[in-house]
A and B are shown apart, each in its own frame.
Chain A
Amino acid sequence: MIRVLPFLLYLWLVSLHQVILNDATSIYAATINIPAVVVILIGLYKSELDACWFGFMVGVVTYAGIGDSMGWYVLVMALLGYLTFHVRAKVNLESIYSRVLLVLVGVLIHNVAVLIMAGSDGVFYLLVTGVVTGAVYTAVIAWVFFLFKEGKITAKKLKAIF
């Protein structure tokens, strides 16, 4: 049970983002894809099965209420966790920038998959305004996260600036 608790907290973080933070943090059509980032981070730092199960659960939580195509969205999220783990196992991700690049590519793939599954018109319009810009925006947030995690930015350093 204790092992599951952090994952439950991450799922609540995803829900918090979906309900409250999504609108507040979006810039025009570009939104931070927190669900995909959290799945990628779990793929980076935890085991393969953790990443897959967590991806599955994030898919269920994020796309509850989307309609009949929910299963496809869930599958894509689980695959994202699976692929991230295998990329991490095969590629050297020591540098922060390589991890940011992984987040950028992962979120981009997820956004494109979601766009295709949504099957709406104006695909090229959304590709520019939502998919690519959203992936870049998310990668920037992930970069800041990695800087904090690696201790490149600390509260002390921030205080020194201001």
Chain B
Amino acid sequence: MNWITNLFARHWRNIHLLAIALLSVILIVAPSVVMPTVNQAILSVFYWPFAEIKTGLGDLHAVGEENHRLRQMLTQANVNLSMYQEAVRENARLRSVLGFEQQSGYILLPVEVMSISGDYFPVSAVINGGSNDSIFVDQPVINQNGLIGRIVSVASDYATVQLLTDPSNRVAARIAQSREMGIIRFTVSEGMILDNLPVQGAVNVNDTVLSSGLGGVYPPGLRVGVVSSVERPELEPFCRITVTPFVDFHSLDELFVLNMEGR
């Protein structure tokens, strides 16, 4: 027994360094096993109190201004709603005439951002809703301005959202005015761009970009951004289109997860 104590005493420093290296290796080789527990613990101990303070401060600051703005928006929304309801009735009538299936609706699950990851631009966000709140992988996430991203991992009380500003994220999109289709992706040097749109395609600056619904993750019609520049290179098949997103990805707070009805 004594020799074990001696061994520990003699190699105390090396044992610590080895422990740090081992823990790092565990995080590297088995992220899917360790990460949910680690993330949950870190977020609830370190991030949650400050996220609550941030939300509280933001709420206090903005509540009066927001109230005024919301009243205006409510009035406008009521007008739009009556027009929308009329359009829905007309759509249902025409669908029944043509024999189309009814589309399913979405429920908005409100969530708050607990932390945002990414060193030079936001890549992912952790939200305070998880599988206990009926949140699942691949559900789209939006805010009042437009599309934010999709859920990529879910724990019981939190979930991680892959933002549109993650360079590995892709969204099937279309131009609202001309219905031309392309793919939205983010690059560090150029920002958000709309790819795969032919040079002869009808697209102009200030056109609105919406999700097209292709691919099955994002439903059609979610606001993505507005076309800020269009180049048509002579010897290339596709336009070079940059898009300014409607969402400010540096100041995310309240988000909504789109939960498909009946899921």
Write the residues of chain A forming the contact surface with B, with a CB cutoff of 8 angstroms: 11-12, 14-16, 18-20, 23, 29, 48-49, 52-53, 56, 60-61, 63-72, 74-75, 78, 82, 111, 114-115, 118, 120-122, 125-126, 129-130
Interface residue from A11, A23, A74 paired with B24 (Cβ < 8 Å):
A74
CA separation between A70 and B27, bound complex, in Å? 7
Contact present for B187 and A53 (CB under 8 Å): no
Q: Across the A-B interface, how many residue pairs have beta carbons closer than 8 Å?
A: 116
Question: Which residue in A53, A64, A69, A71 is a CB contact (below 8 Å) of B42?
Answer: A64
Flag if B188 contacts A120 (CB, 8 Å).
yes
B35 adjacent to chain A (CB < 8 Å): yes
| Distance in angstroms between the alpha carbons of A63 and B188 in the assembled complex | 20
Are B24 and A12 in contact, with the CB atoms below 8 A?
Answer: no
Q: Looking at the assembled complex, report how far the CB atom of B144 sits from the nearest CB atom of chain A, in whole angstroms.
A: 19
26 contacts across the A-B interface (CB closer than 8 A): A11-B46, A15-B46, A15-B47, A15-B50, A18-B50, A19-B50, A23-B251, A29-B120, A49-B17, A56-B23, A60-B42, A64-B38, A64-B39, A64-B117, A64-B126, A67-B123, A68-B31, A70-B31, A71-B25, A71-B27, A114-B119, A115-B120, A120-B188, A121-B167, A125-B188, A129-B120
Are A56's CB and B24's CB within 8 A? yes
Q: Which chain B residues lie closer than 8 Å to A14 at the CB level? A: 46
Q: Which 4 pairs, one residue from A and one from B, show the smallest C-beta to C-beta distance? A: A71-B27, A122-B188, A71-B28, A122-B189
Determine the chain A residues whose CB is within 8 A of the CB of B114 once the complex forms: 19
Whether B120 contacts A130 by the Cβ 8 Å rule is yes
Residue of A nearest to B50 (CB): A19
B contact residues, range:
35 or more
Chain A's closest residue to B23 (CB) is: A56
Contact assessment for B124 and A67 in the assembled complex, using a CB-CB cutoff below 8 Å: yes
- In the bound complex, residues from chain A placing their C-beta under 8 Å from that of B24 are 56, 71, 74-75, 78
Contact across chains for A65 and B117 when beta carbons are under 8 A apart = yes
**Chain B residues whose CB sits within 8 angstroms of the CB of A69 once the complex forms:** 31
A64-B47, A66-B124 in contact; A18/B28 too (CB < 8 A)? no
Contact in complex: A61, B187 (CB < 8 Å): no
Per-position binary interface string of chain B over residues 123-149, scored 1 when its CB falls under 8 Å from any chain A CB and 0 otherwise: 111100000000000000000000000
Q: Taking each of B50, B53, B120, which has the highest tally of chain A beta carbons within 10 Å of its own beta carbon?
A: B120
In this complex, what residue of A is CB-closest to B41?
A64
Query: A71: which of B26, B53, B119, B250 is its contact (CB, 8 Å)?
Result: B26
Q: How far is the CA of A114 from the CA of B188 in the complex (A)?
A: 15
- Find chain A residues with CB under 8 A from B126 CB: 64-65
Taking the closest CB of chain A, its distance from the CB of B188, in whole angstroms, is 3
> Which of A61, A74, A82 sits near B27, CB closer than 8 Å?
A74
B160 on interface, CB distance cutoff 8 Å:
yes
Among the interface residues A16, A71, A75, A111, which one has the most CB atoms of the partner chain B within 10 A?
Answer: A71
State the Cβ distance, A13 to closest chain B Cβ, in Å: 10
B188 touches A121 (CB 8 A): yes
Instruction: A16 to B115: give the CA distance in the assembly, Å.
Output: 11
Is the C-beta of B16 less than 8 angstroms from some C-beta in chain A? Answer: yes
Does chain A have a CB within 8 A of B43? yes
Nearest CB of chain A from residue B181's CB, rounded to whole Å: 24
A66 with B117, Cβ < 8 A, contacts A53-B16, A72-B28 known? yes
Q: Is B179 an interface residue (CB 8 A)?
A: no
Chain B 28-51, CB within 8 Å of chain A: the 1/0 string? 110110010011001100110011
Known: A53-B16, A56-B24. 5 other contacts (CB 8 A): A20-B53, A65-B43, A71-B25, A78-B20, A129-B120
Contact present for A48 and B13 (CB under 8 Å): yes
